[in-house]
């Protein structure tokens, strides 16, 4: 094969590499929460092979351990319903109503995401978590 043939193949490869791939579509897979008949936010959204789960809270009387366990159970249900799992979670955000609950929240959280836990950000909110939950957690996970 001559130089022109090699150049031709190289050009085709370069053109194929620059051709935009089909973009994934945003798919609402969870409930949409409304505020006065206007969509406010989605409970879960898939985009390509990523699943975004909105913050879950615990809206009942209880301590931080009960609230954390409840919230993690709810996240697990949502993940599994949408083709993912706790082991496929990549990123977690934890919002605490009181930073003094940090250690007890960690005790309930520990081990829930398998041997390779996701990256995590934890903050204490000013003024509390909506719905009087002691903790709210959202996450981003991979989907097969």
Give the Cα separation of 41 and 45 in Å (integer).
10
Give the Cα separation of 7 and 13 in Å (integer).
10
> What is the pTM assigned to this prediction?
0.79
- Number of structural domains (the chain) is 1
28 in helix, strand or coil? strand
Position 85 in a domain:
yes
Q: What is the pLDDT of residues 86-121, one digit of tens each?
A: 999 999 999 999 999 999 999 999 999 999 999 999
What's 41's domain CATH number? 3.30.1330.40
Instruction: Show the domain range for 31.
Output: 23-142
Give the Cα separation of 37 and 55 in Å (integer).
21
Phi, psi dihedrals of residue 105, rounded to the nearest 5°? -65, -45
Position 108 in a domain:
yes
The reported pLDDT for the residue numbered 24 is 78
Q: Provide the phi-psi class of 17: left if phi over 0, else alpha when psi is between -120 and 50, else beta.
A: alpha
């Amino acid at each position: 094969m001559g130089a022109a043939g090699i150049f031709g193949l190289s050009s085709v490869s370069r053109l194929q590499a620059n051709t935009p791939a089909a973009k994934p579509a945003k798919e609402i897979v969870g409930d949409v929460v409304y505020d006065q008949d206007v969509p406010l936010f989605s409970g879960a959204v898939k985009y390509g092979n990523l699943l975004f789960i909105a913050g879950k809270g615990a809206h009942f009387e209880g301590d931080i351990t009960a609230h954390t366990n409840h919230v993690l159970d709810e996240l697990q249900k949502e993940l599994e319903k949408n083709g993912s799992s706790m082991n496929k979670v990549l990123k977690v955000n934890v919002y605490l109503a009181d930073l003094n609950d940090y250690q007890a929240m960690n005790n309930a959280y520990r081990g829930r995401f398998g041997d390779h836990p996701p990256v995590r950000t934890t903050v204490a909110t000013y003024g509390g978590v909506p719905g009087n939950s002691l903790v709210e957690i959202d996450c981003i996970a991979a989907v097969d």
